[in-house]
Amino acid sequence: MPALNETHDLKLRSWVSSANATDTDFTIQNLPFAEFRRKNSDEAFRGGVAIGDQVVDLAAAQGLFNGEAAIGAAACAEPTLNNFMSMGQPVWSALRLALSRALREGAAEQSSLESCLIPQAEVEFSLPCTIGDYTDFYTSVHHATRVGKLFRPDNPLLPNYKWVPIGYHGRSSSIDVSGQEFKRPCGQTKAPDAAEPSFGPCKRLDYELEVGIYIGKGNDLGTPIILDDSDEHVFGLCLFNDWSARDIQAWEYQPLGPFLAKNFASTVSPWIITTEALAPYRAEFSRDPADPQPMPYLSSEQNSAEGALDIKLEVLLQTEAMRIRKEAPVKVSQSNFIHSYWTVAQMVAHHTVNGCNMRPGDFLGSGTQSGPEHEEGGSLLELSRGGKESFALPNGEQRTFLEDGDAVVMRGWCEKEGVARIGFGEVVSTVLPANQ
């Protein structure tokens, strides 16, 4: 896994002054990647790196780097990051190091690189890469148990859950970048007291607070990715809102699992935080001794010592009425990725253990990330206890599930004493009325 190096040094400061603010997501120790262009322009999308409130335009910065960093920067100038992501850790790290050195206070490259900066407030984003395949996992035991209790009170957690990282193949075509607006889905639902299902707009629309995982370097068909080699293949992470129509889901999910309840919209944050940037926030991964311990292909000393990631997560809600009155979104829950029952490495190793080949840009969802306490629920299904309990917003509005016009904001960040803050930015998306 990526080792700590000079790019993680807490003492580093940037000549981009906004990157030195204590509350910025995009410190010089972060340097995440995205695809962007100027707002309201017909420019081609190209790769950029966040530094403070600015974006380094990597297409404009051609010629400022050498060796593998130059190769990486040239690939980042393309309309998607797939080619760059395919190049592997040596190139990723070389470009990250070159950018870190060029953006530090006193860097000789300052005068050349200043002209390559564009304020983030002036840009728009596309998906950072072409997502070929998307798999959604189910890695929060707290979420799985709470949801299980709602539908199977006598058997909330199925016996395979603690043995195997559960996942399903999702729909990549409906994944979009932050700012996505989508229409409330329609489908079949069946009320508990109804003799037959009915058709119409979803009434129990929900969000799911997830972490997204981008595959960089792929593997050959028939060749599994070994647990401790996963970081050679995982390019980085983002925030992920996997929207869910709970009433459609309740009617259709057996016997084959999620379908129309999940494939109408999913939203990612624009910035990919590299695995190298997250290295200081690796944490110990352990399993309750009373639980089944991971099988050998899902277990290693390295994964036990540093497999977990300490990423703070929160969900905020802004209703249409709040937006009209220019009221800020309000927090409805907060959790942490460290509660995940399975690590990123375990997800990748299990996904490929049967020989499945992954390709640059393939995407994994972590599943809803909920903490052990009720208020740490990563979905409204949990917070409203299956729609049985509404909760009040500060303006007096009530919610059990989402209403038309609601915007959901998710944020994530890593922060602890003695280490630079690493932020994920945010993912925002808004519910529109259904097609009728």
Binding residues: 136, 138, 152, 208, 210, 242, 249, 253, 262, 266, 368
Q: What integer pLDDT is reported at residue 431 of this predicted model?
A: 98
> Is 371 or 152 the better-scoring residue by pLDDT?
371
Q: What integer pLDDT is reported at residue 428 of this predicted model?
A: 98
List 142, 143, 233, 351, catalytic entry: 143
Indicate the pairing of strand 175-177 with strand 266-268. parallel
The pLDDT of residue 1 is above 70: no
| CA distance from start to end of the chain | 51
**How does residue 244 score in pLDDT terms, banded at 50, 70 and 90?**
very high
Q: What integer pLDDT is reported at residue 284 of this predicted model?
A: 97
**How does residue 3 score in pLDDT terms, banded at 50, 70 and 90?**
confident
Long-range contacts of 194-202 (CB under 8 A, 24+ apart): 197/251, 201/434, 201/436, 202/245, 202/246, 202/247, 202/248, 202/434
Domains along the chain? 6-126 (2.30.30.230), 134-432 (3.90.850.10)
**How does residue 48 score in pLDDT terms, banded at 50, 70 and 90?**
very high
Binding residues for Mg(2+): 242, 262, 266
Q: What integer pLDDT is reported at residue 129 of this predicted model?
A: 98
> Is 280 or 255 the better-scoring residue by pLDDT?
280
pLDDT in tens, 103-155: 999 999 999 999 999 999 999 999 999 999 999 999 999 999 999 888 788 88
**How does residue 22 score in pLDDT terms, banded at 50, 70 and 90?**
very high
- Kindly list the strands in the beta sheet with 54-57, ordered across the sheet, starting from the edge strand earlier in the chain: 117-119, 54-57, 46-51, 33-38, 123-126
The pLDDT of residue 2 is above 90: no
Q: What SS3 state is found at 351? A: helix
Binding residues for Ca(2+): 136, 208, 210, 242
Both tokens of residue 318? 């802004």
Q: Quick check: is 143 catalytic?
A: yes
Establish whether the linkage from the previous residue to 153 is cis, with ω within 30° of 0: no
Q: What integer pLDDT is reported at residue 152 of this predicted model?
A: 82
pLDDT in tens, 320-329: 999 999 999 9
**DSSP strand E in 73-215: where?**
117-119, 123-126, 134-137, 167-169, 175-177, 180-183, 186-189, 198-201, 205-206, 209-215
Q: What integer pLDDT is reported at residue 155 of this predicted model?
A: 81
Q: Which residues contact 173 (CB under 8 A, 6 or more apart)?
A: none
Average pLDDT value for the chain: 96
Residue type for position 339: H
The pLDDT of residue 265 is above 80: yes
The pLDDT of residue 232 is above 70: yes
Q: Which residues contact 373 (CB under 8 A, 6 or more apart)?
A: none
